[in-house]
Each structure stands twice: as structure tokens, then as C-alpha cells.
Structure 1
Amino acid sequence: MTKFTFQVAMLFIVVALVCAFVPVFSVDESEAKSLWDTCLVKISPHCALNIVAAVFGNATINDSCCHDLIKEGKVCHDTLIKYIADIPALIARETLYLKKRDDMWNHCVAILKTV
């Protein structure tokens, strides 16, 4: 039950972040909004939640989500995690989150090379 509650909380955070960032991008940064919209459609909601939980929590990414992550692309992955890490509540640990982001990318590349 605790795992389910955690997943619901993480899903809420992802949805809230999307809602918070999209209006800002549409006004000031149309190119960034386009990248955001393009990136989000390449990955399943389940994997987006798994990635966020792995970078900003203590979860580990599923091998199946590594495929989605690589399909999303490094630019998308880097950009989306950076946007989330830049929010005021998280910025104090931004360096840690960006390292976890890069470690996750390298892990997923290694996983796909063995398949």
C-alpha cells in the first residue's frame, strides 16, 4: 500500500510540474514548450513516473523503461530533468539530481547494448 501511495504522489508531482511549466513556456519560450510537448509523447506515463521516482527519489528504473528513455532521447531526458530540478523546492540538490540523471542515462545505454 505504501508503494502505491508513493506512486500516486509521484504521478501527482509529474502532472503538477507539467501544468506549471507548459503555460510559462507557451508565453516566453515557445521552442522550449515544443521540446517539452515532443518529449512527453515519446514516453509512457508509467515510465515517466519511474524515471522521476528514480532521479528524485530512491527508486530504480525498470529495464523496460530504459527502452522508453533511450527512445525519448538524451536531449529530452536532460532538458526535462533539468526543468524539474530547477524548481525552488529542489534546486538545493540540483547537482545530485543531474548526476542521477546522467547515471541513469548511462545505465540505460548499457542495458540496451546487452539486449
Structure 2
Amino acid sequence: MAKFTSQIAMLFIVVALVCAFVPVFSVDESEAKSLWDTCLVKISPHCALDIIAVVFGNATINDSCCHDLVQEGKVCHDNLIKYIADRPALIARETLYLKKRDDLWSHCVAISKTA
């Protein structure tokens, strides 16, 4: 059962990434390109998936990815999560996702300060 739940979670992450970054789904293609060029290049794909899994699922994040997130910056983090949360399939729970985004940021800042 845990394997099935894990597979569903990974499927959700992949679908969220596709919806967020494929231009046909985006509201403004230039906005997606700008986010990619300025923000996503600052963080590893592994950590980006972990961050999405934390905000849009029930995953946890490791200290290394927390450091990457803080280096990426709050503006990038806020904008990327908001951009994904604005997708039609996710908009109904946007408030929850934005709270989880802010909680993750606070957690990672605290982790980064202790290192």
C-alpha cells in the first residue's frame, strides 16, 4: 500500500510540473520563461521536486534542499509556488498551498541559520 501511495504522490508531482511549465497550460508564456530563467536555474531538479512534494503533498525536505531553497530566494520561491498553485486543477486549495509554502520557507530559513 505504501508503494502505491508513493507512486500516486510521484504522479501528482509530475503532473504539477507539467502543468506549471508547459506553455500550453500557462497563462503567460513569457512569465513561465522568466521564472525558469531567473529562478529554477538556481536550484537542482531533485530539490525542486522535493519542494513541490512538500507544498503540494505530504513529503519532508532534507537540510541540503533547504539550503538550496534559501539560496534561491524568497521571491523566487513565492512566485514559483504561486504560479503552480494558480493552475485550474489546484486553485481550489491555493490558500492551503500558500500556507504550506510559507511554512516551508520559515522551516528552511531556520535550518539554514543553524548550519
**Shorter-chain TM-score range:** 0.7 to 0.9
Q: CA deviation at 1:62?
A: 1.4
Can you give the 5+ residue segments of structure 1 that lack an aligned partner in the other structure?
Answer: none
Give per-residue Cα distances to partners, 1:29-75, cap 9 Å, x unaligned. Answer: x4663233211101111101000000000101111100110111100
Are the counterparts in 2 of residues 36 and 80 from structure 1 also a CA contact under 8 Å? no
Counterpart selection for 1:5 from 4, 7, 10: 7
Amino acid at match of 2:7: T
After superposition, the Cα gap between the structure-2 partners of 1:68 and 1:105, relative to the gap in structure 1 and judged at 3 Å, is same
Identity, in percent, stands at: 69
What residue is the counterpart of 1:71 in the other structure?
Answer: 71
| Distance in 2 (alpha carbons) for counterparts of 1:106 and 1:93 | 20
| Distance in 1 (alpha carbons) for counterparts of 2:104 and 2:91 | 19
Q: CA RMSD in A?
A: 2.2
Are the counterparts in 1 of residues 9 and 57 from structure 2 also a CA contact under 8 Å? no
Matches within 5 A, 1:5-84: 5-6=7-8, 8-9=10-11, 10-20=13-23, 24-26=27-29, 30=30, 33-84=33-84
Determine which structure has greater relative contact order: mean sequence separation of CA pairs < 8 Å that are 6+ residues apart, divided by chain length: 2
Can you give the 5+ residue segments of structure 2 that lack an aligned partner in the other structure?
Answer: none
Q: TM-score, normalised by structure 1?
A: 0.83
Q: CA deviation at 1:103?
A: 0.5
